[in-house]
């Protein structure tokens, strides 16, 4: 069985993308013109090898897909299930490694499991555009996760803030206690200092200045 022929960047031999074609072609053109990345997509119902990985390798060789700044995405129906294979040239593989590639594989697999091929292709192109296109002017690049040094500095700053807050609270409590004790030891008539004498179940206070006497319960 002969291999499908390349008819452009978007090769839909399964008539699966429908109205998504114009937007996809625009996105693929932007990747090539702005990032210099040539993305080739094949959607097919036939696999003469019954092996999507082998089919992807043969298509790349037959279509002479370049070894640099190139991406090849294959969506092929094997028996009753759609399969997805993504090939990245080594210079691009480093930029899409890790969580970006893992998330893309998961999203495409879920879409193909529901037989939503057009959605799978759109998600693939969107992920490639996000990772490979240069940021737009006036839009700051998205900040990545904080480094260990940044996390350590943030934690240290939080600890210092907690320390300052706790120290301020303790100072306020001590101030209230001090004011209460001071008022408790001053004569309410003249403001003079009170002297205390022990009584039965209570304390007797007398003022040295005006001679006033007061009784208050003795603290237990």
Mean predicted confidence (pLDDT) in 181-201 = 64
Mean predicted confidence (pLDDT) in 127-137 = 86
Query: What's the pLDDT score for residue 220?
Result: 47
Residue/partner pairs of 109-115 with CB below 8 Å, 24 or more apart: 109/84, 112/75, 112/81, 112/82, 112/83, 112/84, 113/81, 113/82, 115/82
Residue 157 has pLDDT above 60, yes or no: yes
189/142: higher pLDDT: 189
> Could you tell me which residues are beta bridge partners of residue 128?
none
For 16-40, give one letter per residue: b (16+ CB within 10 A) or e. bbeebeeebeebbeebeeebebbbb
194-207, pLDDT tens digit by residue? 666 666 666 776 67
Mean predicted confidence (pLDDT) in 20-34 = 96
Mean predicted confidence (pLDDT) in 44-66 = 95
Question: Which positions ≥6 away from 125 have C-beta within 8 Å?
Answer: 24, 27, 28, 31, 39, 41
Query: What's the pLDDT score for residue 185?
Result: 64
Q: Which residue has the tokens 């691009």?
A: 92
Query: What's the pLDDT score for residue 69?
Result: 94
Query: What's the pLDDT score for residue 135?
Result: 81
The angle that helices 99-113 and 117-132 make with each other, rounded to 10 degrees, is 170
**Average of per-residue pLDDT values in the chain:** 83
* CA-to-CA separations, 104 to 18, 37, 73, 135, in angstroms, rounded: 22, 18, 12, 20
Query: What's the pLDDT score for residue 89?
Result: 93
> CATH topology for 10-132?
Diaminopimelate Epimerase; Chain A, domain 1 (3.10.310)
Query: What's the pLDDT score for residue 190?
Result: 75
Residue 214 has pLDDT above 70, yes or no: no
Q: How many CB atoms lie within 10 A of CB 12?
A: 21
CA 172 remoteness from chain centre = 40
Q: Which residue has the tokens 């495409």?
A: 108
The angle that helices 117-132 and 21-35 make with each other, rounded to 10 degrees, is 20
Spatial distance between the Cα atoms of 203 and 216, rounded to a whole number of angstroms: 5
Contact at 8 Å (CB) between 197 and 204? yes
Q: Domain spans of the chain?
A: 10-132, 180-220
Mean predicted confidence (pLDDT) in 43-64 = 96
Mean predicted confidence (pLDDT) in 82-105 = 88
| pLDDT tier, 172 (very low <50, low <70, confident <90, very high otherwise) | confident
């Amino acid at each position: 069985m002969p291999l499908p022929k390349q008819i452009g960047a978007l090769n839909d031999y399964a008539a699966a993308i429908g109205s998504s074609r114009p937007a996809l072609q625009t996105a693929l053109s932007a990747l090539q013109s702005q990032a210099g990345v040539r993305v080739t997509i094949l959607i097919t119902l036939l696999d003469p090898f019954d092996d999507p990985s082998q089919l992807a390798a043969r298509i790349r060789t037959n279509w002479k897909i370049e070894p640099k700044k190139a991406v090849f995405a294959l969506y092929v129906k094997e028996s009753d299930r759609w399969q997805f294979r993504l090939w990245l040239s080594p210079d691009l593989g480093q930029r899409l490694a890790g969580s970006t590639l893992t998330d893309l594989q998961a999203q495409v697999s879920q879409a193909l499991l529901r037989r939503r091929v057009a959605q799978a292709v759109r998600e693939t192109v969107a992920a490639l555009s996000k990772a490979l296109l240069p940021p737009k002017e006036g839009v700051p690049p998205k900040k990545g996760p904080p480094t260990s040094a940044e996390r350590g500095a943030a934690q240290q700053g939080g600890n210092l803030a907690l320390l300052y807050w706790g120290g301020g609270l303790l100072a306020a409590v001590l101030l209230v206690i001090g004011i209460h004790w001071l008022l408790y030891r001053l004569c309410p008539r003249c403001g003079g200092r009170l002297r205390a004498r022990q009584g039965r179940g209570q304390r007797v206070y007398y003022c040295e200045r005006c001679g006033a006497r007061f009784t208050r319960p003795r603290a237990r």
